[in-house]
Amino acid sequence: MAKDKLLDDIDIDKLPVHIAIIMDGNGRWAQKSGLNRIRGHRAGVETIREIVTFSAEIGIKYLTMYAFSVENWGRPKHEVNMLMRLLEEYLEKELTTFKRNNIKFNTIGFTEELPLRVRELIMRDKEETKNNSGLVLTLALNYSGRSEITDAIKRIIKDKINPDELSEQTVSKYLFTNDIPDPDLLIRTSGEMRISNYLLWQISYTELWITPILWPDFRKKYLIEAIKEYQKRERRFGKV
């Protein structure tokens, strides 16, 4: 495979290990284009395909994408139903892409509350990619950072962990992301200056990169731009 010229702008040996993305702006993109919101979400799925494949190609090890939040259930019923259908369609079709690109599929969130067919496809895709050794793609589905931490506290209490033995490492083991390193870089599209209840524990020292580009317009050149900016920063983790 020929080298992508976009890679000339970054140090391929200093890539962020884990990139997290808040994919925002599908609805506004549709409105600007004179389309309904569902068309915006469908365009957003196409962007997911491009960014996932490109991330796997350049050697990103972990990519976590905020696909559906707990709060999203509050949207109009017809939109939620269509989002579930789009998710089902994505999971159905992308298994071939996962296998071809050595991608391991993963999810975080309260997936047991998703529709049955979606749950079945999640289990299928996880099972059939569990031995892949490339990019670990995690979709945050029915996810909430506060709910994740609350759930972890409940299970810590249930397991009767001695408070004197409780540490940050212990809490981390009870989170959905217990086997995933914390994100190095968080990207948010659409220009909104908030983190929307996403990975609240995990992004304590994550570098943030916010772009006004709406998610359906987010191409791989913007991912390279974010990585380029990340590589300019000095990460001190609270130290001098």
CB atoms within 10 A of CB 71: 12
Q: Could you report how far apart the first and last alpha carbons of the chain are, in Å?
A: 42
Q: What are phi and psi of 22, to 5 degrees?
A: -100, 110
Catalytic (active site) residue 24: yes
Contact of 107 with 130, CB cutoff 8 Å: no
Catalytic (active site) residue 106: no
Q: Which two tokens stand for residue 193?
A: 């200056």
Q: Which two tokens stand for residue 69?
A: 């939040």
Q: What is the C-alpha separation between 172 and 161, in angstroms, rounded?
A: 14
- Which of 8, 9, 11, 72 is catalytic? The answer is 72
- Which of 4, 9, 13, 24 is catalytic? The answer is 24
Q: What is the C-alpha separation between 235 and 203, in angstroms, rounded?
A: 13
Residue 138: burial class (beta carbons within 10 Å; 0-12, 13-18, 19+)? buried
Catalytic residues: 24, 72
